[in-house]
Amino acid sequence: MSTNDTKTVLIDRGPITTLTLNRPEKLNALNAQLLSELTEALVSLSTDRSLRAVIITGAGEKAFAAGADISAMSNLSPADARFFAGMGQRTLAMIEELPVPVIGAVNGFALGGGCELALACDFLYASENAKLGQPEVNLGVIPGFGGTQRLARRVGVGRARELCYTGDIIDAAEALRIGLVNAVFPLASLLEKARATAQKIADKGPLAVTQAKRAILRGADVPLPIANELEVQAFAGLFGSDDQREGMTAFLEKRKAVFRGS
C-alpha cells in the first residue's frame, strides 16, 4: 500500500482503500476543496480493477465530518448554493456508484453534510463517541446533499421526518437502534473492525459483490416485480464467469475459492 497525501483527503491505496477526510482543525467540515479532492479520488478508484472495498473515515478522534463548512456557506447566493449542493450531490452519488462496497467508519461527529456523506456509504460502523444528525433547520436551511432522501431510505420516512424537522443529534446507541448504523465499537478498534469486514468482503467473488450492490441500489427505487427481474438478470449474468466456475468448483471440492474478478 502507498499513501497519497493531499491537503484535505488522505488516500491509503490497496485492494482495500481507506479515504480519510483531513481537515481535523475544522472537524473535517466539507468545503469545495475537500469535495473536489474526494471526487478526484473516487474517479481514480472507479477504474481500479484490483479494488475490493473502500473505507471512508475522518482524521482525528472527534469527527467523521461535522458538516458543511458554515463559514464558507453563510454568504452564498441562491445560485451559489445550488452550485455547492450540486457538487455535493454529484460527489455522494459517486460513492454510491462505486462498483465495490463502501464502509463508513464514523469516528465522532457526522452532522449535516457529514451525515449525508455517511449515508451515501453502503453501511456504517460508528465509534461509541459518534453523534449523527441533520441539524440544518437550526441554520434556517435543509439538507442539500441528499439527506432528506437517503435518510428516509435508511431509517424510514417517519424517523427521517423527525430528525430533519427537529434537527436533533443522536448518539451512536440511538443510531444503532433505529438502523442508521450497523454496529458500534470503541473508537480505538473502529478502523480495525471496518477493515476486518472489508477483508471478509474482499475474499468473496468480486463480480458477485458488485452485482449484489448494483441490484440493491437499483432495486430500491422501482416496484418489486421490476427489482426482482433486475436480480434475475444479474444472477444469470454471473453464470459462465470464471468466478462462478471457481466458486462452485471449490465448493464441490471442499476447498477455499480463489477469485480473480473475471
Q: What is the CATH number of the domain that holds 174?
A: 3.90.226.10
Find the mean pLDDT for residues 173-177: 98
Q: Does the residue 259 lie in any domain?
A: no
Q: Does the residue 258 lie in any domain?
A: no
Q: Does the residue 43 lie in any domain?
A: yes
Host H or E run for residue 35: helix 32-46
Nearest Cα to 40, choosing from 74, 1, 10, 63? 10
Active-site annotation holder among 25, 37, 40, 136: 136
Do both 245 and 163 map to the same domain?
no
Strand pairing of 16-21 and 63-65?
unpaired
Active-site annotation holder among 116, 192, 229, 231: 116
| Locus of grid cell 420516512 | 157
Alpha-carbon torsion (154, 160, 164, 170), positive or negative: negative
Share of the chain above pLDDT 90, in %: 93
Find the mean pLDDT for residues 35-64: 97
Amino acid identity at 244: Q
Segments forming the whole domain that contains residue 107: 2-202
> Is 136 one of the annotated active-site residues of the chain?
yes
* Residue 69: predicted pLDDT: 81
Amino acid identity at 68: A
- List Cβ<8 Å contacts ≥24 apart for 84-87: 84/32, 84/144, 85/144, 85/145, 87/32, 87/35, 87/36
The domain tally of the chain equals 2
pLDDT per residue as tens digits for the range 200-213: 999 999 999 999 99
- Please check the confidence at residue 2 and state whether its pLDDT lies above 60: no
* Residue 250: predicted pLDDT: 96
Do both 150 and 211 map to the same domain?
no
Do both 191 and 223 map to the same domain?
no
| Locus of grid cell 481535523 | 24
pLDDT per residue as tens digits for the range 111-159: 999 999 999 999 999 999 999 999 999 999 999 999 999 999 999 999 9
Do both 17 and 83 map to the same domain?
yes
> Is 174 one of the annotated active-site residues of the chain?
no
Helices (H), 98-223: 113-119, 147-155, 157-166, 172-177, 190-202, 206-219
Length of the chain: 262
What band does 74 get if pLDDT is binned at 50, 70 and 90? Answer: confident
Amino acid identity at 196: A
- Angle between helix axes 147-155 and 157-166 (nearest 10 degrees) is 140
What band does 3 get if pLDDT is binned at 50, 70 and 90? Answer: very low
Do both 150 and 212 map to the same domain?
no
Query: Whole-prediction pTM value?
Result: 0.94
Cβ atoms 130, 171 nearer than 8 A:
yes
Do both 61 and 17 map to the same domain?
yes
Find the mean pLDDT for residues 224-229: 96
- Please check the confidence at residue 1 and state whether its pLDDT lies above 50: no
